[in-house]
Amino acid sequence: FIYGNHFQDIDEQVTNLLFPKLLSINTQHFDFGASNFSKKNMQEDKSNTGRVTFYNELGIPFIYTLEANYHIGRKVNPPYFVDKENFPSHLHPRNLEVNNLLSPYTIAHFKNIGQAIAVSLLDAFQQNPHSRISQTPYQSIDNVKESIKKQVLRSRKRMKKRKRFVSMAKKQFKKAPANNTNILTFENVNYTSQSFTDL
């Protein structure tokens, strides 16, 4: 998974999320859903990290921190295969598992991630003649971007609702008698934790 910066501008944030999304297409072993691109992840104890410092001091926006679990991941992505006709197999990361079963990490898994990073950069700049994107439900890089944009907009809408809910709860709590423990009752509200909170 990846830690990345947060951008208020929707288009910038979409561009920011594109590379990690492509990485999840090019390897089964990168967890896009576990990645964090929140505003909070640029503040507090994260403000002195190289990722945030390079952005704040040098204006370099798209910097990522690649993290890895020590032993095993939470999930594997669906395997997407490239067209093997006239395809130089050494140029693309091979899928280590095609049955979507988790297995403990080996050196081969980490090599697979490294290869997928290079391939994802080619995809991001639309310079990959053997892209996997056409084998995915997205079919094209533009559709990948559109999907990310919808996800960002949904996430920000949820965050606005959540902030309104917290604000209402605080106001009711202040008005409530000290012995009233049932004052925070809101119907039809379900605020569970979501991936990509505060996109």
C-alpha angle 142/143/144, rounded to 5°? 90
DSSP 57-96: HH-----EEE---SS--S--PPP-PPP-TT--GGGSPPPS
User: Annotated catalytic, 146?
Assistant: no
Q: Choose the catalytic residue: 67, 85, 97, 146.
A: 67
Task: Give catalytic residues, as residue numbers.
Answer: 67
